[in-house]
Amino acid sequence: MPYRYLLTCPTILAVCAAGFASYWGLALGLTWFTSYLVAGLGFSQKLGGNLTVLPWVFGALVVLTGGYLSQRLKRKGVSSRVCRGMLPCVTIIAGGCALPFVGAMPNDGLKIAFLVFGSAIGSTIYVVLPMIISELTPHPQRAAMLAITTSVVTFAGVLAPRIMGSMIQNAATPLAGYEQGYVILGVLLLGGGLIGLLFIRPEADRRRLAAHAIAAPPLPSVRA
């Protein structure tokens, strides 16, 4: 398959957009979550460190549950568009709806709950992304396409910490900077989730890509 068709496939571009937005939240959890608890909310370093496990525990549950539901639906004959596209993208949108309200919560407990929920609920996209890429890509090109799409998605890990740091540095208070950064994350999740919801269509794009497939050359004969 010519790579120009694979790299411009709407489904592949959409799943990268959804994955990029979700990975942005993962990167902020790795780099700034504990700092938000300590410098933003005023928790002790020990308590902040203990609470750091919350996004990872919740995220692990989401990944296991989401992957199980997606695979179960697929076995029952549900289309890939629904079980590998709509299901994870709806959770990403749900996270995007929650995060802008982190700063409006009346107490620290609700702020943490909204932040953990919003940043981790869309983690199912990490499970279905390689499935969608494998579904659309010929076997000899899957490793390359998985590497390309993974690099696009994880590039959010380079941008997110830097942009959040700039927000905190330039805000009136550290807490305001953190909460502005989480609003940006919410907007990214809403955008990525909506793009995925509208354009992840594996069945339709698989038929479209099949029209551009190139027959493999015959293997040379070996003479004794």
Sign of dihedral through CA atoms 16, 20, 26, 30? positive
Residue 64's contacts (CB-CB under 8 Å, 6 or more residues apart) are none
pLDDT tens string, the chain, 224 residues long: the values are 889 999 999 999 999 999 999 999 999 998 999 999 999 999 998 998 889 899 989 999 999 999 899 999 999 999 999 999 999 999 999 999 999 999 899 999 999 999 999 999 989 899 999 999 999 999 999 999 999 999 999 999 999 999 999 999 999 898 999 999 999 999 999 999 999 999 999 999 999 998 877 755 555 555 54
| DSSP-H helix ranges across 137-173 | 142-154, 156-170
Q: What is the pLDDT of residue 110?
A: 94
Q: What is the pLDDT of residue 224?
A: 47
Q: What is the pLDDT of residue 49?
A: 87
Give which of 124, 117, 79, 86 is closest to 101, Cα–Cα. Answer: 117
The domain spans of the chain are 9-204
> What's the fold here for domain 9-204?
Growth Hormone; Chain: A; (1.20.1250)
| Tokens of residue 204, six digits | 């339709």
Q: What is the pLDDT of residue 223?
A: 57
CB atoms within 10 A of CB 113: 16
